[in-house]
Amino acid sequence: MKVGFIGLGNMGSAIARNLIKAGHNLTVYNRTRSRAEPFASLGARIAETPSEAAADTEVLMTMLADDAAVEGVIFVPGNAIQALPAGAVHVSMSTISVALSRRLTEAHSERKQHHVAATVFGRPDVAAAGKLWVVAGGSSEPIERCQLLFEAIGQKIFAAGEEAHAANVIKLAGNFLITTVIESLAEAFAFGRKSGVDPHTFLDILTNSLFPGPVYQTYGNLIASDRFEPAGFKLPLGFKDNRLLLAAAEEATVPMPMASLIHDRFLAALALGLGESDWAAIARVSYDNAGLRKEVAR
Task: Outline where the chain has alpha helix (H).
Answer: 10-21, 33-36, 50-54, 67-74, 80-83, 98-110, 124-128, 140-145, 147-153, 165-194, 199-207, 214-225, 235-251, 257-271, 283-289, 293-297
Residue 150 has pLDDT above 50, yes or no: yes
The torsion region of residue 91 among left (phi > 0), alpha (psi -120 to 50) and beta comes to: beta
CA distance 116 to 130: 20
**Confidence band for 294, pLDDT divided at 50, 70 and 90:** low
Residue 297 has pLDDT above 90, yes or no: no
Residue 3 has pLDDT above 60, yes or no: yes
Q: Given the residues 21, 171, 234, 294, select the one marked as catalytic.
A: 171
Query: What are residue 278's DSSP bridge partners?
Result: 234
Q: What percent of the chain has pLDDT over 70?
A: 98
Q: Does the annotation mark 112 as catalytic?
A: no
Condensed to tens digits (0 to 9), the pLDDT of residues 52-66 reads 999 999 999 999 999
Q: Mean pLDDT over residues 232-247, rounded?
A: 98
Condensed to tens digits (0 to 9), the pLDDT of residues 248-288 reads 999 999 999 999 999 999 999 999 999 999 999 999 999 99
Residue 144 has pLDDT above 80, yes or no: yes
DSSP 111: T
- Of 51, 55, 46, give the one whose Cα is nearest residue 79: 51
Q: Mean pLDDT over residues 153-174, rounded?
A: 98
Distance of CA 132 to CAs 27, 141, 156, 257, 287, Å? Answer: 22, 22, 7, 29, 31
pLDDT score of 104: 98
